[in-house]
Structure 1
Amino acid sequence: MDGIRFAFGTLTVLPVRVTRWDRDAARAGMVWAPLTGLVVGLCAAALGGLLTLLGSGPLLAAAASVAVPAVLTRGLHLDGLADTADGLGSGRPADEALAIMKRSDIGPFGVITLLFVLLAQVAVVDQLYERGWSQGAVAAVASAVVARLALTLAARPGVPAARPGGLGAAVAGTVPVRTAAGVAVLVLAACAGAGAIEGPYGALRQALAVVVALGAAQLLLAHCLRRFGGVTGDVFGALAETAATAALVVLTFGG
């Protein structure tokens, strides 16, 4: 329960009080991170489905589905994406780039990145809702779960923290590799099972979306490790948004 509290208390705005803030709680919290994605994704799918039932067009349902994760996380992951884009785009040495990321304002790289990522997410979910409510709903849930799975994998040993304080330092290196791999296999199987509603090709597409999403997140993680020397809370947010967007894009293939 301490791990679940840690996951929901740090990754969502849901009224969950974090009772422990130590390495054991952080480890369990990162293992349970995909569960927070499941809850967030179900809320996104529910709102999109409600608007569809009320007669709204797929574009409004898509915008609402994309907005829900932002609201339920206080824009935490989007803010991390913007800050990471500013740090990477600055071209400065690691210490200076980390200082840029820590500022409260958002620079031009961050704004441009947010604009294109949100446009891509809304465009993809709109396309999926046009095919049917179930496809849009499954995509909203799957992308949210995979986004948090990327955090679980990034919290494995060998991925150091870039600075001593913050969420990145609290969770860096806490999840054993075998545990992270087990969670990844479980999420992959669950997503493939959800896609099987549409038949074998749907299951394959869901599985491919998970693999590609995690691959995109790992590429970004490797780049951040080279540039910053480790991870921060902002990098974790960027990994989540990257994985979510990549998963959504793959789910549009072969429609």
Structure 2
Amino acid sequence: MSRLLLNEQPLMVLPKLACKLGLNEAILLQQLHYWLQDSKNIRDGHKWVYNTYDAWILQFPFWSGSTLRRVMKRLEKEGYIITAKYNQMKIDNTKWYRIDYKRLERLDRPPVQNEQTECSEWADEQFELNKPLPEITSDIASSSSAREESGGVPSTVNEIPHSSEADVVDVIANKFIELRQSGLHLAPMDYSSIQEILANGITLENALKWLEECFVNYQPRHRRDKIRSVSYCVPYMLDRHVEITQASKAKTEREPAKYNEEDFDLDD
């Protein structure tokens, strides 16, 4: 069995697999591996699972249908996922899926000269994987409540007592979960989206404010249509950030230059 895959239920992936195949591909491949462990569908000496695309999308509510199809087709094209049809009825087009573990093993096999380095990196990744995803701690929640009661949030990361980037990520994650009104945790891709928000220079104050604006301005198409992932809000927040940045720049350019008296020679 490839060491790039887990036998555990949580939706987690190893960083090395995500780096080699992409985060979405790693998530799908890991979940397929998990389902294959308990599969009783044996065909041609292999375990298989079968599903329609509509059923698949229920397993990954944070993806659109087009994203799921793109990820699945890429893994099929590159040979990591094998598909077949073992349906009893010819009109049944449900696909069956399995992982080509030998293909995956070749991806995982390091060159001989780099084997020691690869093993060292692998040990580090396994250690990091045992750490849970950032959770909303009571300290973060209480500090957030105190800021709301005082009528505002800190405008910079440094204003949070004993703050770190992880604390800021947790505050934003907490706000999104509150606005989403469902679930207690975020998916790995949600934390990646939060990191993208911060990497673009958006302050914590604006991140919280624009998250709320995004939910307020969202117009659902039906009763069950709602914002499910942070990635949906990222474009809106980046647009607001660019809008404010450009407005500030334009204002600066319009302001007349200020001169001091010593800049002029008043003596004839």
| TM > 0.5 fold call | no
Greater strand content: 2
Q: Which has the larger radius of gyration?
A: 2
Structure-1-length-normalised TM-score = 0.28
